Protein backbone atom coordinates (compact mmCIF):
# COMPACT_ATOMS: atom_id res chain seq x y z
CA UNK A 1 0.00 0.00 0.00
CA UNK A 2 1.30 3.43 -0.81
CA UNK A 3 2.14 5.95 1.85
CA UNK A 4 -0.49 8.62 2.38
CA UNK A 5 0.55 11.63 0.39
CA UNK A 6 -0.05 14.94 2.09
CA UNK A 7 0.42 16.56 -1.33
CA UNK A 8 -2.66 14.74 -2.55
CA UNK A 9 -4.76 16.28 0.20
CA UNK A 10 -6.83 19.27 -0.91
CA UNK A 11 -5.30 22.27 0.86
CA UNK A 12 -8.57 23.61 2.22
CA UNK A 13 -9.45 20.28 3.83
CA UNK A 14 -7.89 18.77 6.89
CA UNK A 15 -8.36 15.36 8.51
CA UNK A 16 -10.58 17.03 11.10
CA UNK A 17 -13.02 18.42 8.50
CA UNK A 18 -16.57 17.21 9.07
CA UNK A 19 -17.55 14.45 6.70
CA UNK A 20 -20.91 13.23 5.53
CA UNK A 21 -22.68 9.91 6.03
CA UNK A 22 -25.30 8.76 3.56
CA UNK A 23 -28.12 6.31 4.11
CA UNK A 24 -30.39 4.95 1.40
CA UNK A 25 -33.79 3.52 2.27
CA UNK A 26 -35.66 1.40 -0.28
CA UNK A 27 -34.39 3.31 -3.31
CA UNK A 28 -36.02 2.29 -6.57
CA UNK A 29 -35.51 3.71 -10.06
CA UNK A 30 -36.96 2.90 -13.48
CA UNK A 31 -36.48 4.07 -17.03
CA UNK A 32 -39.97 3.93 -18.47
CA UNK A 33 -41.33 0.47 -17.75
CA UNK A 34 -37.87 -0.97 -17.15
CA UNK A 35 -37.07 -1.26 -13.46
CA UNK A 36 -33.35 -0.69 -12.80
CA UNK A 37 -33.06 -0.48 -9.02
CA UNK A 38 -35.32 -2.18 -6.51
CA UNK A 39 -35.44 -1.59 -2.76
CA UNK A 40 -31.81 -0.46 -2.49
CA UNK A 41 -31.00 0.13 1.17
CA UNK A 42 -27.37 0.79 1.98
CA UNK A 43 -25.08 2.89 4.13
CA UNK A 44 -22.09 5.03 3.27
CA UNK A 45 -20.01 5.58 6.41
CA UNK A 46 -18.82 9.08 7.26
CA UNK A 47 -15.31 10.03 6.18
CA UNK A 48 -14.54 6.62 4.70
CA UNK A 49 -14.15 5.23 1.20
CA UNK A 50 -17.15 3.28 0.00
CA UNK A 51 -16.79 1.29 -3.20
CA UNK A 52 -19.79 0.11 -5.21
CA UNK A 53 -19.08 -3.04 -7.21
CA UNK A 54 -21.32 -5.06 -9.49
CA UNK A 55 -21.76 -6.29 -13.04
CA UNK A 56 -22.24 -4.06 -16.08
CA UNK A 57 -25.83 -2.91 -16.22
CA UNK A 58 -26.24 -3.63 -12.49
CA UNK A 59 -27.45 -0.08 -11.85
CA UNK A 60 -24.29 1.45 -10.31
CA UNK A 61 -24.34 4.63 -12.40
CA UNK A 62 -28.11 4.87 -11.95
CA UNK A 63 -27.68 4.78 -8.18
CA UNK A 64 -25.05 7.54 -8.44
CA UNK A 65 -27.49 9.65 -10.47
CA UNK A 66 -30.10 9.12 -7.72
CA UNK A 67 -27.55 10.25 -5.09
CA UNK A 68 -26.82 13.36 -7.14
CA UNK A 69 -30.56 14.07 -7.47
CA UNK A 70 -30.29 13.92 -11.27
CA UNK A 71 -33.09 11.40 -11.82
CA UNK A 72 -36.36 10.71 -9.96
CA UNK A 73 -36.39 7.76 -7.56
CA UNK A 74 -38.57 6.08 -4.98
CA UNK A 75 -37.53 5.74 -1.35
CA UNK A 76 -35.28 8.08 0.59
CA UNK A 77 -31.65 9.15 0.49
CA UNK A 78 -30.56 10.89 3.69
CA UNK A 79 -27.34 12.90 4.02
CA UNK A 80 -26.04 13.57 7.51
CA UNK A 81 -25.46 16.51 7.85
CA UNK A 82 -27.90 17.48 5.09
CA UNK A 83 -27.19 19.37 1.87
CA UNK A 84 -23.53 18.45 1.37
CA UNK A 85 -21.44 19.77 -1.50
CA UNK A 86 -20.90 16.81 -3.82
CA UNK A 87 -17.93 16.65 -6.19
CA UNK A 88 -18.70 14.32 -9.08
CA UNK A 89 -16.33 12.64 -11.52
CA UNK A 90 -18.57 11.13 -14.22
CA UNK A 91 -17.93 7.93 -16.09
CA UNK A 92 -15.74 9.04 -18.98
CA UNK A 93 -18.28 7.89 -21.56
CA UNK A 94 -20.84 10.26 -19.99
CA UNK A 95 -18.60 13.29 -20.59
CA UNK A 96 -18.53 15.23 -23.86
CA UNK A 97 -14.80 15.73 -24.23
CA UNK A 98 -15.24 17.54 -27.54
CA UNK A 99 -16.44 20.74 -25.90
CA UNK A 100 -14.49 23.49 -27.69
CA UNK A 101 -12.62 24.54 -24.54
CA UNK A 102 -9.16 24.23 -23.07
CA UNK A 103 -8.82 22.39 -19.77
CA UNK A 104 -8.32 25.77 -18.02
CA UNK A 105 -11.50 27.19 -19.53
CA UNK A 106 -13.50 24.07 -18.67
CA UNK A 107 -12.31 24.19 -15.05
CA UNK A 108 -13.05 27.91 -14.80
CA UNK A 109 -16.68 27.46 -15.91
CA UNK A 110 -17.94 26.76 -12.40
CA UNK A 111 -15.81 29.46 -10.76
CA UNK A 112 -16.76 32.62 -12.57
CA UNK A 113 -19.78 34.35 -14.08
CA UNK A 114 -17.53 36.31 -16.41
CA UNK A 115 -17.80 35.04 -20.02
CA UNK A 116 -14.93 32.67 -20.74
CA UNK A 117 -14.17 34.45 -24.05
CA UNK A 118 -13.11 37.53 -22.04
CA UNK A 119 -10.20 35.49 -20.68
CA UNK A 120 -9.55 34.21 -17.16
CA UNK A 121 -8.66 36.49 -14.27
CA UNK A 122 -5.43 35.91 -12.34
CA UNK A 123 -7.33 34.64 -9.30
CA UNK A 124 -9.25 32.06 -11.35
CA UNK A 125 -6.09 31.01 -13.18
CA UNK A 126 -4.33 30.39 -9.87
CA UNK A 127 -7.23 28.33 -8.47
CA UNK A 128 -7.42 26.25 -11.63
CA UNK A 129 -3.65 25.73 -11.65
CA UNK A 130 -3.68 24.64 -7.99
CA UNK A 131 -6.40 22.06 -8.73
CA UNK A 132 -4.51 20.72 -11.75
CA UNK A 133 -1.28 20.55 -9.73
CA UNK A 134 -3.08 18.57 -7.05
CA UNK A 135 -3.87 15.83 -9.57
CA UNK A 136 -0.38 16.12 -11.12
CA UNK A 137 -1.75 17.64 -14.31
CA UNK A 138 -0.34 21.17 -14.12
CA UNK A 139 0.84 21.03 -17.73
CA UNK A 140 -2.60 20.29 -19.18
CA UNK A 141 -4.26 23.67 -18.56
CA UNK A 142 -3.72 25.13 -22.04
CA UNK A 143 -4.63 21.96 -23.95
CA UNK A 144 -7.96 21.52 -25.74
CA UNK A 145 -10.22 18.98 -24.00
CA UNK A 146 -10.59 17.05 -27.26
CA UNK A 147 -6.82 16.51 -27.42
CA UNK A 148 -6.50 14.87 -23.99
CA UNK A 149 -5.93 11.15 -23.51
CA UNK A 150 -8.29 9.05 -21.38
CA UNK A 151 -6.10 9.38 -18.30
CA UNK A 152 -5.59 13.13 -18.82
CA UNK A 153 -9.34 13.64 -19.19
CA UNK A 154 -9.91 11.80 -15.91
CA UNK A 155 -7.37 14.06 -14.17
CA UNK A 156 -9.14 17.18 -15.45
CA UNK A 157 -12.53 15.80 -14.33
CA UNK A 158 -11.06 15.02 -10.90
CA UNK A 159 -9.60 18.55 -10.67
CA UNK A 160 -13.04 19.89 -11.58
CA UNK A 161 -14.68 17.88 -8.78
CA UNK A 162 -12.05 19.05 -6.24
CA UNK A 163 -12.61 22.69 -7.22
CA UNK A 164 -16.13 22.45 -5.77
CA UNK A 165 -14.52 21.94 -2.32
CA UNK A 166 -16.64 18.80 -1.85
CA UNK A 167 -17.86 17.21 1.36
CA UNK A 168 -18.43 14.02 -0.63
CA UNK A 169 -16.44 12.97 -3.67
CA UNK A 170 -18.30 10.64 -6.04
CA UNK A 171 -16.30 8.88 -8.77
CA UNK A 172 -17.89 6.64 -11.40
CA UNK A 173 -15.40 4.12 -12.81
CA UNK A 174 -12.44 6.54 -12.62
CA UNK A 175 -9.86 3.96 -13.74
CA UNK A 176 -11.62 3.01 -16.98
CA UNK A 177 -9.42 3.83 -19.98
CA UNK A 178 -6.54 4.89 -17.74
CA UNK A 179 -3.05 3.41 -18.08
CA UNK A 180 -1.06 1.90 -15.22
CA UNK A 181 0.49 5.27 -14.25
CA UNK A 182 -2.95 6.84 -14.15
CA UNK A 183 -4.15 4.01 -11.92
CA UNK A 184 -1.19 4.48 -9.60
CA UNK A 185 -1.90 8.21 -9.34
CA UNK A 186 -5.53 7.45 -8.58
CA UNK A 187 -4.42 5.07 -5.82
CA UNK A 188 -2.16 7.77 -4.33
CA UNK A 189 -4.92 10.35 -4.46
CA UNK A 190 -7.46 7.98 -2.91
CA UNK A 191 -5.05 7.31 -0.05
CA UNK A 192 -4.48 11.06 0.37
CA UNK A 193 -8.24 11.68 0.44
CA UNK A 194 -8.74 9.31 3.37
CA UNK A 195 -10.07 11.27 6.34
CA UNK A 196 -10.49 14.40 4.16
CA UNK A 197 -13.95 13.63 2.91
CA UNK A 198 -16.39 10.85 2.28
CA UNK A 199 -15.58 9.07 -0.98
CA UNK A 200 -18.05 6.99 -2.98
CA UNK A 201 -16.46 5.23 -5.93
CA UNK A 202 -17.95 2.89 -8.49
CA UNK A 203 -15.40 0.37 -9.66
CA UNK A 204 -15.54 -2.83 -11.65
CA UNK A 205 -12.00 -3.49 -10.43
CA UNK A 206 -12.02 -5.87 -7.48
CA UNK A 207 -8.36 -5.14 -6.70
CA UNK A 208 -9.13 -1.46 -6.23
CA UNK A 209 -12.16 -2.24 -4.08
CA UNK A 210 -10.15 -4.55 -1.89
CA UNK A 211 -7.14 -2.24 -1.58
CA UNK A 212 -8.96 1.05 -0.98
CA UNK A 213 -12.46 0.30 0.18
CA UNK A 214 -13.32 0.69 3.84
CA UNK A 215 -16.86 -0.33 2.97
CA UNK A 216 -18.09 -2.19 -0.11
CA UNK A 217 -21.63 -2.28 -1.52
CA UNK A 218 -22.36 -5.15 -3.93
CA UNK A 219 -25.05 -3.96 -6.33
CA UNK A 220 -26.88 -5.99 -8.92
CA UNK A 221 -30.16 -4.10 -9.30
CA UNK A 222 -30.54 -4.64 -5.54
CA UNK A 223 -28.01 -4.74 -2.73
CA UNK A 224 -26.62 -8.26 -2.64
CA UNK A 225 -24.38 -7.52 0.36
CA UNK A 226 -22.58 -4.63 2.03
CA UNK A 227 -19.82 -4.49 4.58
CA UNK A 228 -16.06 -4.24 5.06
CA UNK A 229 -13.90 -5.86 2.34
CA UNK A 230 -13.12 -8.93 4.45
CA UNK A 231 -16.82 -9.70 4.59
CA UNK A 232 -17.41 -9.02 0.89
CA UNK A 233 -14.46 -10.88 -0.60
CA UNK A 234 -16.00 -14.26 -0.03
CA UNK A 235 -16.61 -16.53 -3.03
CA UNK A 236 -20.31 -16.89 -2.34
CA UNK A 237 -20.84 -13.10 -2.10
CA UNK A 238 -18.93 -12.36 -5.29
CA UNK A 239 -20.71 -15.13 -7.17
CA UNK A 240 -24.07 -13.84 -6.00
CA UNK A 241 -23.12 -10.30 -7.08
CA UNK A 242 -21.61 -11.03 -10.47
CA UNK A 243 -23.53 -14.21 -11.22
CA UNK A 244 -20.30 -15.91 -12.18
CA UNK A 245 -18.41 -18.92 -10.95
CA UNK A 246 -15.32 -17.89 -8.96
CA UNK A 247 -13.08 -19.37 -11.64
CA UNK A 248 -14.14 -16.59 -13.97
CA UNK A 249 -13.36 -13.90 -11.38
CA UNK A 250 -10.13 -15.18 -9.84
CA UNK A 251 -8.86 -17.83 -12.27
CA UNK A 252 -9.83 -21.49 -12.37
CA UNK A 253 -10.23 -23.56 -9.21
CA UNK A 254 -11.22 -27.18 -9.10
CA UNK A 255 -13.24 -26.45 -6.02
CA UNK A 256 -14.33 -23.04 -4.79
CA UNK A 257 -11.88 -21.64 -2.20
CA UNK A 258 -13.34 -20.85 1.21
CA UNK A 259 -11.87 -17.36 1.12
CA UNK A 260 -11.54 -15.56 -2.18
CA UNK A 261 -7.83 -15.09 -3.02
CA UNK A 262 -6.72 -11.49 -3.37
CA UNK A 263 -6.95 -10.24 -6.92
CA UNK A 264 -3.72 -8.68 -8.22
CA UNK A 265 -3.43 -5.38 -6.34
CA UNK A 266 -3.82 -2.12 -8.18
CA UNK A 267 -1.06 -0.61 -6.04
CA UNK A 268 1.83 -3.01 -6.49
> Which positions touch ligand ADP (CB under 6 A)?
31, 36, 54, 56-62
Three-class SS state of 231: helix
Residue with smaller CB distance to ligand ADP, 17 or 220? 220
- Residues 49 and 253: their CA atoms lie apart, in Å, by 31
Shortest spacing between CB 137 and ligand ADP, in angstroms: 26
Shortest spacing between CB 80 and ligand ADP, in angstroms: 25
Residue 54 binds: one of ligand ADP, Mg ion, none (C-beta under 5 to 8 A by kind): ligand ADP
Shortest spacing between CB 32 and Mg ion, in angstroms: 19
Q: Do the Cβ atoms of 126 and 73 come closer than 8 Å?
A: no
Question: Which conformational region is residue 227 in: left (phi greater than 0), alpha (psi within -120 to 50 degrees), or beta?
Answer: left
Residue with smaller CB distance to ligand ADP, 36 or 211? 36
For the chain, state the CA radius of gyration: 19
Binding site for Mg ion (CB under 5 A): 60-61
Residue with smaller CB distance to Mg ion, 60 or 212? 60
Residue with smaller CB distance to ligand ADP, 53 or 124? 53
Residue with smaller CB distance to Mg ion, 56 or 254? 56
Question: Which conformational region is residue 173 in: left (phi greater than 0), alpha (psi within -120 to 50 degrees), or beta?
Answer: left
Residue 97 binds: one of Mg ion, ligand ADP, none (C-beta under 5 to 8 A by kind): none
Residue 6 binds: one of ligand ADP, Mg ion, none (C-beta under 5 to 8 A by kind): none
- Residues 160 and 48: their CA atoms lie apart, in Å, by 21
Helix, strand, coil percentages (3-state) for the chain, rounded to 5, are 35, 20, 45
Shortest spacing between CB 199 and ligand ADP, in angstroms: 17
Residue 119 binds: one of Mg ion, ligand ADP, none (C-beta under 5 to 8 A by kind): none
Question: Which conformational region is residue 128 in: left (phi greater than 0), alpha (psi within -120 to 50 degrees), or beta?
Answer: alpha
Amino acid sequence: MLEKSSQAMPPEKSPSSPAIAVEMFGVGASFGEFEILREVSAQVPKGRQTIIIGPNGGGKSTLIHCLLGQIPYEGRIVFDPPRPRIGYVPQRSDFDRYLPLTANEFLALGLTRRPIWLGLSGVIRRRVKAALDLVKAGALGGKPLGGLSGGETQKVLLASALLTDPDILVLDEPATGVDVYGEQLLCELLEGFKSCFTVIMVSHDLATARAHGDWVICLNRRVVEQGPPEKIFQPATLSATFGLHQGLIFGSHQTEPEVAPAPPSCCH
